[in-house]
Structure 1
Amino acid sequence: MTHTWQITTVVDAARARIATARLAAGHGVPALDRTRLVTALTAQLRQCLTKGGAWRLTLRTTPPSPSEDRPRLWLTLCPHPDDSSDADLTWQASAPAAERAGGAGTTGVPARTAALAEGLLGADDDTARVLDALAEQEALVAFHREELHQTNQGVLALHAELDAAGRAQQELFAAERAARTEAEEARRRLTFLADTSAALTASLNHGEIVRLLPELLIPAYARSVDVWLLGDEEEQAHGHAPRPAAAVVAARTGRPQYAAAHPGGLPGVDDRPPSALHPTRPLLCVPLSARRTALGVLILTPPGERWNPDDAVMLIELARRAGIAIDNAQRFEHNRDIAETLQRALLTDLPTTPGLRLAARYLPATHGLNIGGDWYDAFRQPDGSLIAVIGDVTGHGLHAAVMMSQLRTALRAYAVDGGTPGQLLTRLHLFLHHLQPDLYATAVIARFRPGEPVLTWAAAGHPPPMLRTPDGLVHTLDDKPGAMLGIPLRQAIEDHTVPLPAGSTLALYTDGLVERRAQGIDPGIQRLTEALSALGPPELADDLEGAADRVLDPMLRDSEGDDDVCLLLCHYDSGQRTPTTLPAAPPPPSR
């Protein structure tokens, strides 16, 4: 449907405007869109009247298009074709119409004043509707503005909370880093204290502990370290060196002292004036004590300007542990000296007998006290026979050595009355069983009679003797032995005899020479056989002492040092050589 209006005057323009408004209303154009359309048309008509000439306004409707599901109302304003003016203004606008309009509306508007006034009032109705819609929109805008304001206030409050949470989180992170750093420092100190304590207690030599302390503390915890031991014999021999007053006070009071120009503020440490010996250096003097007895003082200078309080606490604890380690080492050394003196007193001189040469070696275990239950002995009986014995008391240390001494004394007493090796061992068995029911021993006794080329021997639970004959062969004397001495069993230990050609050598030994935990005893006996076979007759006859050393050397290469070693060599030459007085057995060498 199309409508056309000719416009030359203002009345024509007003009539066209009114008709357009009515047609738009009739086609169901919404009030807001209708008002926008009519207002835009009014502005264009005003421009046309200003330009003058004749104009044509066309209104047409179009059906729904594929992209739009509603019909549209189109307005076109252009110059009239018959107008000779040069106006080239063409204006076009559109608005959506209802899919089913209620009516086409009135197209003709009379040119009466009343009709124009009615049209003007009708336009005010649309304006009122628009104003109502605008009022609703303003209320909605105000509502949303208030919502936006409230939202902004919430966002601002949230930002403030987030800022506070961020600052709190930063503070927590800083506290966590500080706590982690403190924990790492504490772990480092505890690890150092544990490792240092293990190193100090691993040694039983107090001089080694004193030398180790500076190596452990420099440069991490001290610039210099001086260990002053009270009653140090070496220091007294070279003259008493002056000591800082703080060190003297620490030794006298048993409390750590800090000597510096300014207080150190170290926990558990007394502050003192700077030392006259070292006025420019702070000194930390920590007593070394054990069992409430002052052993010395640890004198330290700081690695930097001053000590960290936690480091000072750690150093005080380290000094306490070092004092205990030094005290243990000094006590061990004292007991070891006593034990070695006792051991040397128990080792007797070997006798000289025509036709028989003797050489002995004793090496105590290197772990613990250098004293044990292994022993050797050789003595004459009233009939001129020579008894050679080697034995081993179970256990180790001073108790075993005391029991060994009693057995040796008892054997010598029993031998005065005569008796064969088996009889002597039988009596020792009864003696040990009644004297120490919970202590046992093993032993081998060999008897050499003057002028008789026969060896009589007996064993009680001991490794078998080895006899090297002049032809270089080594025989293991493993005839039936007796059981261990002291076990709760009645036994009569048998004697055994073997020919003894001139130039023969008998080897008696303890299990520490041949037995190894990982291998047992058989491989060791085989190596001892090989070592004895390798000896030549001249060195056995002329240098039995050197031969004993040459036997020990290959046997001790894999020794674990946890058992005593005893060896007694008896070389028989039938009196063909002039006997010489052999020197006493040397003191036990260290291994």
Structure 2
Amino acid sequence: MTHTWQITTVVDAARARVAIARLTAEHGVSVVDRSRLVTSLTAQLRQCLTKGGTWRLTLRVTPLSGGDEQRQLRLSLRPGPDDTGAPTWRASVPADGEVGGPGAEPARTSPAALAEALFSADDDAARVLDALSEQEAVVAFHREELHQTNQGVLALHAELDAAGEAQRELFAAERAARTEAEEARRRLTFLADASAALTASLNHGEIVRLLPELLTPAYARGVDVWLLADEEAERGHAPRPAAAVVAARTGRPQYAAAHPGGLPGVNDRPPSALHPTVPLLCVPLSARRTTLGVLILTPPGDRWDPDDAVMLIELARRAGIAIDNAQRFEHNRDIAETLQRALLTDLPSGPGLRLAARYLPATHGLNIGGDWYDAFRQPDGSLITVVGDVTGHGLRAAVMMSQLRTALRAYAVDGGSPGRLLTRLHLFLHHLQPDLYATAVIARFRPGERVLTWAAAGHPPPVLRTPDGRVHTLDAKPGAMLGIPLRQDIEDHTAALPPGSTLALYTDGLVERRTQGIDPGIERLTVAMADLAESDLDSDLEGAADRVLDPMLRDSERDDDVCLLLCHVDSGQETSRA
């Protein structure tokens, strides 16, 4: 269906506009689409009237591909045949159905019809405005909803930012805590290792030398250890900083620098006149409420970390205890060694028989034990030689050794063979000290006899070197240890003693090793004795004793006392009274 209008004047344009509005209404075009189409057409008609000339407006109703009930209204506005340069305007709207037919009534042009069309247009405009108001209300609702959503999103972003910041702070705090924990672990590990190293030594000089090795360069650039009682070291030393003197006098750590150190438990002082540009940390070395010295430190950098300073103060406290323990041990060791030497016998000398002895205290622990040697004459002129070992170490073992030595000499005044003397010592020790035990070997040399009489109680066997260079172990069955709760009569044994013979009596510290036992050590001793030259034994028995000890002690840990007594019968001579 096609409708055509010729437009030359404004009345033609009004008629066409009214007709288009009516037809679009009749074909079921929606108010909004109809208003939009008519408004757009009106603007085009106004332009055409402005340009002038004749214009042709065409309306075609065409079906859509969806079916007969769906139609489309197509408008075209083109110039007349005399004006071919102007463009054609086109527009289209969908229609729900057709009301008018091909013979539809032409548009009425009376004033009443135009007025009716005008009012109808106003109705359409009102309906469009109502729809617009509804849409504006919907838009306003959605705008408010969007605003609320945006506010929620902004609040959520703010919460997320706050949560992210809190998480970053937590991560930073965790990293800081982990770093602090690692630093604390490093300090505690160092403190434990350094304490173990300091307490492992019982030599205070070694502890003093060890402190700089432990602290530099991680915790100090320079370390000076000032021991107050070390007068010999102080004679050639430079003056001490005033802060060190104050630390020694007050027993409190002092920090001498141009600025406060902020170190916990440390007093701040002016910079040292001896070192004005270098900060000094002076920490007392104390033990048993007594200041033994001062640890004078210079920082590894510009200053100390407060936690490092706390650790250094604790290390100085432990070092002071270690030094005090070492000094007390050294003092007691000197007393013990003096006592030990006082208990050892000056060996008798005489023609035909010469003696040489060696006593070496253990290098671990208090250097005093129960090993002893002795040599004395009986009333009949016999020479008694003895080597013994009281179980244990320390002053108690030394006192017991002294009592056994004295008792043996007393028993020997009444005479008696080595076995008889050991039997009496066994009874004496069992009644005097039931919880102490001892081992001993006694050898007797009679004047004018070439026979050695000996007896042993739980002791390593004597070793006899004959003039031909052969070495024999006198391993006849010994008695049990002295002092055990057992009644025993210890037997005597004899061995030929030609001139040039050498007898070795010793304690187990010479031959016993923890990983090997005692038998390999006795074999090494026989080899050492066999290697001695007879001329050396006759002329230099003291040197021979050293030559026996040297190979025996090469692999020794020296954790036990060592005692050796050599008895040499001169070549070509008889054993006689001294």
Superposed pair shares fold, TM > 0.5? yes
- Alignment-derived partner of residue 196 in structure 2: 198
Q: Which amino acid aligns with 2:37?
A: L
Stretch moving more, 412-421 or 365-374: 412-421
Contact 1:371-1:397 within 8 A present in 2 as well:
yes
CA distance in 2, matches of 1:15, 1:277: 118
Q: Evaluate the alpha carbon distance shift between residue 561 and residue 400 of structure 1 in structure 2; reply closer, same or farther with a 3 A threshold.
A: same
Distance apart, 1:481 and its partner CA: 2.0
Partner of 2:406: 409
Larger mean CA deviation between 435-444 and 153-162 belongs to 153-162
Q: Which whole-Å CA distance do the structure 2 matches of 1:419 and 1:124 have between them?
A: 158
Q: Secondary structure at the match of 2:324?
A: helix
Q: Is the 8 Å Cα contact of residues 461 and 485 (structure 1) preserved in structure 2?
A: yes
Residue 139 of structure 1 deviates from its aligned partner by 1.2
Amino acid across the alignment from 1:40: S
User: How far off is 1:377 after superposition?
Assistant: 2.1
CA offsets, 1:224-277, max 9 Å, x none?
Answer: 5544433434157x4897555555554444344556677666554555666666
Matches within 5 A, 1:396-475: 396-475=393-472
Instruction: Determine if contact 2:457/2:490 at 8 Å carries over to the other structure.
Output: yes
Does 2:35 align with 1:38?
A: no
Residue 31 of structure 1 and its aligned partner are, at CA, apart by: 2.9
1:5 matched to which residue of 2?
4
The aligned counterpart of 2:93 is 95
Partner AA of 2:495 in structure 1: V
Say which SS state the counterpart of residue 463 (structure 1) adopts: coil
Q: 1:467 to 1:31 in 2, by over 3 A?
A: farther
The answer as to 2:141 corresponding to 1:143 is: yes
Q: Shift in Å at residue 76 of structure 1?
A: 4.2
Whether contact under 8 Å (2:538, 2:571) holds in the other structure is: no
Matched residue, 1:112: 109
Deviation per residue, 1:178-202 (Å, 9 max, x gap): 6556555555544444444333323
Higher mean Cα deviation, 447-456 or 360-369?
A: 447-456
Q: Is the 8 A contact 1:22 1:105 kept in 2?
A: no
Q: Map 1:255-270 to 2 at 5 A.
A: 255-257=252-254, 267-270=264-267
Residue 568 of structure 1 aligns to a residue whose secondary structure is strand
Are 2:536 and 1:539 aligned? yes
Q: Which residue of 1 aligns with 2:62?
A: 61
Following superposition of structure 1 onto structure 2, how do residues 136-535 of structure 1 map, counting pairs within 5 Å?
A: 136-158=134-156, 186-217=184-215, 224-234=222-232, 238=235, 247-257=244-254, 267-270=264-267, 284-300=281-297, 309-535=306-532
2-side partners of 1:22 and 1:550: how far apart?
A: 144
Superposition deviation, residue 446 in structure 1: 2.3
Match of 2:554 among 554, 557, 563: 557
Distance in 1 separating the partners of 2:69 and 2:358 = 127
Q: Percent identity?
A: 80
Q: Distance between the aligned counterparts of 1:485 and 1:40, measured in 2?
A: 137
Name which of structure 1's ranges 152-161 and 445-454 shifts more when overlaid on structure 2.
152-161
Q: Distance in 2 between matches of 1:56 and 1:263?
A: 101
Distance 1:79 1:145 in 2: 43
Change (3 A) 1:42 1:297: closer
1:87 to 1:315, Cα distance in 2 relative to 1, 3 A: closer
Partner of 1:412, secondary structure, is helix
Q: Distance in 2 between matches of 1:356 and 1:257?
A: 68
What are the Cα deviations for residues 24-50 of structure 1, in whole angstroms up to 9, with x where unaligned? Answer: 445444332333233333434444554
TM-score w.r.t. the length of structure 2 is 0.85
What's the counterpart of residue 77 of structure 1? Answer: 76
The CA deviation at 1:556 is 1.8
Unaligned runs of 5+ in 2: none
Aligned mates of 2:233, 2:25 — CA distance in 1: 126
CA deviation string 1:301-342 (max 9, x = no partner): 566666555555444434333332222222111111111111
Aligned pair in 2 of structure 1 residues 28, 568: CA closer, same or farther (>3 Å)?
Answer: farther
How far 1:438 moved relative to its partner? 0.7
Give the letter for the 2:60 counterpart. Answer: L
Report how far residue 418 of structure 1 moved.
2.1
SS class of match (2:60)? strand
Deviations 1:350-397 (A, max 9, x none): 233444333322211110122111122222223333322222111112
Provide the C-alpha distance between the structure 2 equivalents of 1:446 and 1:244, rounded to a whole number of angstroms: 65
The runs of 5 or more residues in structure 1 that have no matched partner are 582-591
Residues 417-459 of structure 1 show CA distances to partners (whole Å, capped at 9, x for unaligned) of 2222222222111111111111111122223333433333222
Separation of aligned partners in 2, 1:274 and 1:524: 64
TM-score computed with the length of structure 1 as normaliser: 0.83
* CA shift digits 1:7-34 (9 cap, x unpaired): 2445555555445444444544433233
Secondary structure in 1 matching 2:136 = helix
Q: Which moved more, 1:330-339 or 1:420-429?
A: 420-429
Corresponding residue for 1:585?
Answer: none
* Structure 1 position 205, deviation (Å): 2.2
AA partner of residue 33 (structure 1): D
Q: For residues 559 and 26 of structure 2, what CA distance do their matches in structure 1 show?
A: 124
Contact 2:72–2:95 under 8 Å retained in 1: yes
8 Å Cα contact 2:444-2:453 kept in structure 1: yes
Residues 373 and 400, structure 1, Cα contact 8 Å, conserved in 2: yes
Task: State the partner residue of 1:589.
Answer: none
User: How many residue pairs are counted as aligned between the two chains?
Assistant: 574
Distance 1:439 1:157, change over 3 A: same
Residue aligned with 2:386, SS:
strand
Match of 1:131 in 2: 129
Displacement of 1:281: 6.2
SS in 2 for 1:339: helix
Once residues 234 and 546 of structure 1 are traced to their aligned partners in structure 2, the CA distance between those partners, rounded to angstroms, is 36
Pair 84,304 (structure 1): closer, same or farther in 2 beyond 3 Å? closer
Are the equivalent residues in 1 in contact too, given 2:388–2:507 (CA < 8 A)?
yes
Change in 2 beyond 3 A, CA 1:497/1:62:
farther
- The C-alpha deviation readout for 1:127-163, integer Å capped at 9, x for no partner, is 3332222111111222222233334444555555556
The structural deviation recorded for 1:93 is: 2.7
Q: Is the 8 A contact 1:385 1:450 kept in 2?
A: yes
Tell me if the contact between 1:26 and 1:105 (Cα under 8 Å) persists in the aligned partners.
Answer: no
